[in-house]
Structure 1
Amino acid sequence: MNVAIDHLDRPEGVPVMPFLAADVGGTYARIALMRASPAGGRDIDVLAYRRFACADFSGLTEMLKTFVADEVHTPVRHCVLACAGQVMDDEVLNDNSAWPIDLRQLSEAMVLDEIAVLNDFEALGYAFDNRTDCGGRLLCGPDAHPEGPVLVIGPGTGLGAAARLPDSAGGHVLTTEAGQMDFAPNSLRERDVLAQLAPGGGYLAYERIVSGPGLLTLYATLCTLRGKVPWLTTPEGVTEAAAAGSDALAMEAVEIFCAALGSFAGSLAMTFMSAGGVYLAGGFLNSIFALLRRSAFEERFLHGRSVRAFLQRVPVRVSEHGRNGVLGAAKWYLKRGMSDVKPRQEVVAGSP
């Protein structure tokens, strides 16, 4: 379903009408009322924007209705959703979702003519078509924006990744299930963690370690290995204790998390030869930037690899998720042309 784009000139036939764009994650959803700028060219007008906690709503329909009631003053008949999961018939299924998404029920309840769906990290990939506008703090590598494939990685409720591959038309975004790759321990302590989480051997996804819930799992596992009773109950609690230096096991959990993220990012950067850079997206990583910078992330991103010289030239930045998801979804939607997008059919399976 990905279509190569190079700029945001509207396709012929795309009307200048407002539409909803929603970036739906496992913990938060970001919703915007958007339209292609009447002036044409590359501009998108963001008419309204809000972030919602998924736990505050019984489903996406209730959330969208709240947004429309509060922010929208004209009828809206088109919607594009960026969300993780896999579509079975009319339902978006995702193990990390706060609730299932039934596209047919949503369309009927919202009186929509059309719903288009794309993967959440695919949308982020399209948001990074102009990387100098996306900001981000440099974590390691050169402070530059070289040409080449760009990798977007986001540990949040789950672990997602997408690669933007340049081509003559401007770029093509590949979604992945990289978060489901086998976790590979790189230290004796990580081997202990793996043995505790998979005592019979076998498969353990990177997502079980490198995500918000994964960080909490790491902390609880380290407590078990040390014969301690865990008292921290949220990922935020673990990172706050680690930053304050008030809990040694929280500090160790964050260290393992950051190191494993470095290995994961380095492996994907090698896979896609991501000369254009790696973007670590999401508020979670942004909140622990200081801890990430002091960690073994860079060492594990580079360490022991035959392409070390290449990876040393790859800039790695930490970027706020912010509006990038809804902006990327809107770019994809407008470039394809609203009349050309087939609802509930052209869907990319996302990271569960």
Structure 2
Amino acid sequence: MPFLAADVGGTYARVALMQTSQDDGREVDVLAYRKFVCADFPGLAELLQAFVDVDVRTPVRHCVIACAGQVIGNEVLNDNSAWPIHLSQLRQAMALDDIAVLNDFEALGYAFDNHADSGARLLCGPDLQVDGPRLVIGPGTGLGVAVRLPDLAGGYVMTSEAGQMDFAQNSIREREVLAYLAPDGGYVAYERIVSGPGLMTLYAALCALRGETPKLSTPEAITAAAATRNDAQAVEAVEIFCASLGSFAGSLAMTFMSAGGVYLAGGFLYSLFALLEHSTFEQRFLHGRSARAFLSRVPVWVTEHGRKGVMGAAKWYLRRGLSGGAKQAIF
């Protein structure tokens, strides 16, 4: 029986009509797929209905949603969401039998199985495929993180809110930025620095520290100016962003001993690949002393988000036997 799979982030939502593969009941086929801008819709129900009205020709009674944030009670809590998501109301509005929900980066983790990602680009480390823990990191509207366990350990995915960890400055300039953002001390999350909005925060902070007025107003404009090197603050903002991402990824790779590799996911990072290559990302990723021996053996890949979120959500859904009317769904 076909079912809906949605990957809902803070900026974009990707929706697909999925069906169990005829060749392998553990795999899925994509029958239809579309990408939406969340801000174009007043709520998630309207967004999903727009997909159903155009692309779905048979009744659909089941849905799995990969959402940024965490489910608390009946609601998905996420500071970066375009609108509130109340799951029981969504189920009623869409006339669904059930809705299953998981974190969006948990879904991405299920997409990174032992099949090679043909679109991934190697940023640093050896070009090897090893069955070890795989770390998935995605700076976008927020900063998502998940860890996929080795296949020998079941291939399960652990979600996290690692992006909410305290930002750890590494250079004098980063200390100055941190002092500007929190002049009285206190909590500054990595997500506030290492994300699309975080890049804008960095740029605005650097302009303020130099007594200048910001000229650029989007992450894309900042990265474009950094690539052509015609705005000194944009260049420095991207340098700090890439370096901080390297420290963050290296610390988590050590935490989870991610011998299977680190995947930096998302179109935003994919467009930054050339700037990442020429940044201090690798130097900061490798850290120092004994940790360097392990981290130098960990491949770091940059990959587009694409359909991976809906594919991973569908695999998770089938893995738990939720499709076809089973009564194990959350809502």
Question: Is the aligned partner of 1:198 residue 2:182?
Answer: yes
- Residue 88 of structure 1 aligns with an amino acid whose one-letter code is I
CA distance in 1, matches of 2:149, 2:289: 23
Question: Is the aligned partner of 1:18 residue 2:2?
Answer: yes
From 155, 177, 193, the counterpart of 2:161: 177
CA distance in 2, matches of 1:163, 1:291: 26
- Residue 22 of structure 2 aligns with an amino acid whose one-letter code is P
Question: Is the aligned partner of 1:221 residue 2:205?
Answer: yes
Question: Is the aligned partner of 1:106 residue 2:90?
Answer: yes
Q: Does the 8 Å contact 2:167/2:189 carry over to 1?
A: yes
CA positional deviation for 1:307? 1.3
The residue aligned with 2:59 is 75
The residue aligned with 2:46 is 62
CA distance in 1, matches of 2:63, 2:118: 24
The residue aligned with 1:255 is 239
CA positional deviation for 1:303? 2.7
SS at match of 1:337: coil
CA positional deviation for 1:305? 4.3
The residue aligned with 1:334 is 318
RMSD of aligned Cα (Å): 1.2
CA distance in 1, matches of 2:296, 2:22: 43
Q: Does the 8 Å contact 1:134/1:319 carry over to 2?
A: no
Q: Higher mean Cα deviation, 241-250 or 280-289? A: 241-250
Question: Is the aligned partner of 1:240 residue 2:227?
Answer: no
Query: Aligned residues: percent identity?
Result: 74
TM-score scaled by structure 1? 0.91
SS at match of 1:193: helix
CA positional deviation for 1:134? 5.4
CA positional deviation for 1:167? 4.8
Which blocks of at least 5 consecutive residues in structure 2 are unaligned?
Answer: none
The residue aligned with 2:76 is 92
Q: Higher mean Cα deviation, 302-311 or 273-282? A: 302-311
Runs of at least 4 residues off by over 3 Å: 167-170
CA distance in 2, matches of 1:276, 1:68: 38
The residue aligned with 1:297 is 281
Structure with the larger RCO, 1 or 2 (CA within 8 Å, 6+ apart): 1
CA distance in 2, matches of 1:270, 1:131: 24
The residue aligned with 1:135 is 119
- Residue 66 of structure 2 aligns with an amino acid whose one-letter code is A
CA distance in 2, matches of 1:321, 1:166: 21
Question: Is the aligned partner of 1:271 residue 2:258?
Answer: no
CA positional deviation for 1:148? 0.7
The residue aligned with 1:312 is 296
- Residue 140 of structure 2 aligns with an amino acid whose one-letter code is G
The residue aligned with 1:38 is 22
CA positional deviation for 1:30? 0.3
CA distance in 1, matches of 2:315, 2:121: 24
- Residue 145 of structure 1 aligns with an amino acid whose one-letter code is Q
Deviations 1:204-250 (A, max 9, x none): 10000000000000000000000000011111111111112111100
- Residue 328 of structure 2 aligns with an amino acid whose one-letter code is V
Q: Does the 8 Å contact 2:62/2:96 carry over to 1?
A: yes
Q: Does the 8 Å contact 1:131/1:145 carry over to 2?
A: no
Question: Is the aligned partner of 1:343 residue 2:330?
Answer: yes
Q: Does the 8 Å contact 1:128/1:134 carry over to 2?
A: no
- Residue 51 of structure 2 aligns with an amino acid whose one-letter code is F
CA positional deviation for 1:89? 2.4
Q: 1:263 to 1:108 in 2, by over 3 A?
A: same
- Residue 144 of structure 1 aligns with an amino acid whose one-letter code is L
CA positional deviation for 1:42? 4.3
Deviations 1:245-264 (A, max 9, x none): 11110010000000000000
From 50, 60, 66, the counterpart of 2:34: 50
TM-score scaled by structure 2? 0.97
SS at match of 2:116: helix
Q: Does the 8 Å contact 2:27/2:315 carry over to 1?
A: no
- Residue 113 of structure 1 aligns with an amino acid whose one-letter code is D
- Residue 50 of structure 1 aligns with an amino acid whose one-letter code is R
Aligned residue runs from structure 1 range 151-170, under 5 A: 151-168=135-152, 170=154
- Residue 86 of structure 1 aligns with an amino acid whose one-letter code is Q
Q: Does the 8 Å contact 2:26/2:319 carry over to 1?
A: no
Q: Does the 8 Å contact 2:63/2:96 carry over to 1?
A: yes
CA distance in 1, matches of 2:130, 2:20: 29
The residue aligned with 1:187 is 171
- Residue 250 of structure 1 aligns with an amino acid whose one-letter code is A
